[in-house]
Chain A
């Protein structure tokens, strides 16, 4: 039985009507199907998976989707949650905020999804958040790691599952200043994630006694980094800290590797997504952060990898990486939260999600993790890695350098920037 309070119903009717008037009969994503429920069968729970299939994060978006689907399949194999099967629908958000906004709205209004999952690009995640917040739809931001996502752009309905730029910076900056040098140069993608990550790094460097020589802003979709690399050589910093993402980072890596510039200066790459480097281990350089690796010597990791491989044996990437892992964990914890709440009522589920605590063994990480109720960001182990020069097999790209406990990598500034609206102001519904 569907219950909606006035605000959501009005919104749904209004948008459905305007969509109908506008004649939007566009076909996106998978086919629609008419389903006849057997007598007594409960209505399925529907998830809208907002994953990029094209654009800067198209590759990673599909890896995110693989992790999300694995969690859904696991729950469905056990009979679903609260006795209801889980259905999902997906569409290409194109790494474009406007597209993501349109798709999120369609998932909520036309497809009646009660939950949205997926994102890599902070602009996309923020666009989805705006739409979700209007209706109280719970949104799992699986992989967008801009500090602003759990800071100024946080939301009562959104939960952030990836480590963010500040977490990674905190895990690296102090050690790098002590061991490498004080003069830092920042190379930053010119959009929200880049800026917020660079600001976090700048604050940490200066607090640790270092100096920022310059911050070179790199427009998105830059393919030629020669002018930046020349300028870096002219400036002679001790450390270059990058906040460059997606295809831009791939091009940068290729060009740094060609010039053999990966030794001096020292390079610190904020976060390295597995799909971005799959197939090109030789272009890995510097130290980089991640939240998970498929060869962590921890209980459950090997089993998870086997399970994932069985599901995606013909896929483009043979092992799960951090992106797929985050997609899986976010979806698993959402479904567990619904199970614990015993309802799909959004407020009840939000309260469950806000109190998540997951043991290290259950997370397949070194330390216990928990959801910060004030920012809605998962506080978890942050790993630092570099290229593995003695790989055990063809997938063994990383050598783990260190790992930080959640408390040592917490983004302290986030709580001050994040203003969650009271529960009473969130449109409530149960689908």
Chain B
């Protein structure tokens, strides 16, 4: 009989990583009622920008020379965590600018537009960085393994899960405990009233998009050392992100977080006990939940019901 505890623990860490990936997606869907299918490509773009900063030989070296290479690895890694989300946020603003014409229309328009943008970004990545894979180095202090319960665990994975937990907490604080968060939520629910109060709704949406896409990039940097970096890595990210948001309920912050932990635990446990079901299990869970609760675990009426 396999000892259960390691697999539950592994499931929780995996769930936190899923939540980190879903965070930006969740914000944009929940607060703007826009499904951003470019989330996965922006996640990938974040990882590629990290490669430029953290190192190795990159095609962009001629532009940066040895600027980053002269820094210690830990500095470069921290720089990647800061710079990649900023750069991707600018790209995200561009995406939002393009999306403006789709607001107040059938959500399908936004869906198709962001799908197209996702393809453009992915092909752009292929054009700039090629099709080869990259491995993102991490500082020695958070790499390697440690022994727990006679098993070797990945140090970085726990660091990534901890980082995800902190990021989830900070995002929740921004949304729930700051005036900005209140305005954003109000804008999602009643934009006419928000306009009437003299608040610039266009700028508000731009900020939400920048914030959401920067979180996608942050997840890309954090996940890159675990998953590896390749042009279509975004697909690996957008599917679980979409799944946990639907499972948790569109617009429900904690619903998505709880759904992420549930999915992580389920994938972890099935990986140990019924390995061939490990990926399918999350879809079966989604089917089971939405059959009983069409709006997900904590869902309210949303864009998906238009």
A residues with CB within 8 A of B: 54-55, 58-59, 62, 190, 216-219, 221-224, 226-228, 230-231, 233-234, 247, 250-251, 254-255, 258-261, 275-276, 278-280, 282-283, 316-317
Contacts and interface: CB of A to CB of B under 8 A. Distances in A.
A267 to B, nearest CB: 14
Nearest to B151: A233
B76 interface: no
A224 B14 contact: yes
Given A219-B278, A230-B10, A254-B226, A279 B132 contact: yes
Between B236, B271, B272, the greatest number of chain A beta carbons within 10 A of the residue's beta carbon is seen for B271
A230 B228 contact: no
Contacts of B150: 233
Contacts of A217: 275-276
B148 to A, nearest CB: 10
A255 B134 CA distance: 14
Contacts, number: 118
Given A226-B268, A230-B272, 15 more contacts: A59-B131, A221-B236, A222-B279, A223-B236, A224-B17, A227-B278, A258-B156, A258-B226, A259-B144, A259-B153, A259-B154, A260-B152, A279-B133, A280-B135, A316-B131
A28 to B, nearest CB: 15
B2 interface: yes
A279 B13 CA distance: 28
Contacts of B156: 258
19 contacts: A218-B275, A219-B275, A221-B279, A226-B268, A227-B10, A227-B269, A227-B272, A227-B278, A230-B7, A233-B150, A233-B151, A234-B6, A234-B151, A250-B230, A258-B154, A259-B152, A279-B134, A280-B134, A282-B135
B145 interface: yes
A393 to B, nearest CB: 14
Interface in B198-240: 225-228, 230, 232, 236
B143 interface: yes
A222 B133 CA distance: 16
A244 to B, nearest CB: 12
B267 interface: yes
B124 interface: no
B152 A224 contact: no
B3 interface: yes
A280 B232 CA distance: 17
B94 interface: no
Contact of A62 (B13, B131, B232): B131
Contact of B145 (A254, A258, A275, A282): A258
B39 interface: no
A316 B154 contact: no
B154 A250 contact: no
A279 B135 contact: yes
A189 to B, nearest CB: 10
A86 B14 CA distance: 52
Contacts of B279: 219, 221-222
Contact of A254 (B17, B135, B152): B135
A283 B275 CA distance: 24
B157 interface: yes
A132 B296 CA distance: 46
B2 A234 contact: yes
A190 B227 contact: no
Contacts of A58: 131, 232
Nearest to B227: A223
Contacts of B225: 254, 258
Interface of B: 2-3, 6-7, 10-11, 13-14, 17, 130-135, 143-145, 150-154, 156-157, 225-228, 230, 232, 236, 267-269, 271-272, 275-276, 278-280
B151 A59 contact: no
Given A221-B236, A222-B279, A258-B154, A250 B133 contact: yes
A11 to B, nearest CB: 35
Nearest to B268: A227
Most buried by B among A226, A250, A259, A316: A226
Contacts of B144: 258-260
B208 to A, nearest CB: 28
Contacts of A276: 133
A223 B21 CA distance: 14
Contacts of A259: 144-145, 152-154
5 closest residue pairs by CB, A with B: A227-B271, A217-B276, A219-B279, A316-B130, A259-B145
B2 A219 contact: no
Central interface residue in B2, B157, B278, B280, by most chain A CB within 10 Å: B278
Contacts of A226: 10, 13-14, 154, 157, 268, 271
A219 B276 contact: yes
Nearest to A217: B276
Given A59-B132, A228-B271, A316-B131, A258 B143 contact: yes
Nearest to A259: B145
Contacts of B131: 58-59, 62, 316
Nearest to A261: B152
A278 B150 CA distance: 34
Contact of B226 (A224, A260, A275): A224
A219 B236 CA distance: 13
B133 A59 contact: yes
A283 B227 contact: no
A230 B271 CA distance: 10
B124 to A, nearest CB: 15
A164 to B, nearest CB: 22
Contacts of B3: 234
A222 B282 CA distance: 13
Nearest to B18: A224
Contacts of B135: 254, 279-280, 282-283
B151 A255 contact: no
Given A224-B267, A259-B154, A231 B2 contact: yes
A200 to B, nearest CB: 19
B171 to A, nearest CB: 23
Contacts of B17: 224
A353 B225 CA distance: 46
B6 A230 contact: yes
A96 to B, nearest CB: 13
Contacts of A260: 144-145, 152
A55 B267 CA distance: 22
A219 B133 contact: no
A251 B157 CA distance: 13
A242 to B, nearest CB: 13
A296 to B, nearest CB: 23
A255 B156 CA distance: 10
B236 to A, nearest CB: 5
Q: Tell which of B132, B145, B156 has the most Cβ of chain A within 10 Å.
A: B132
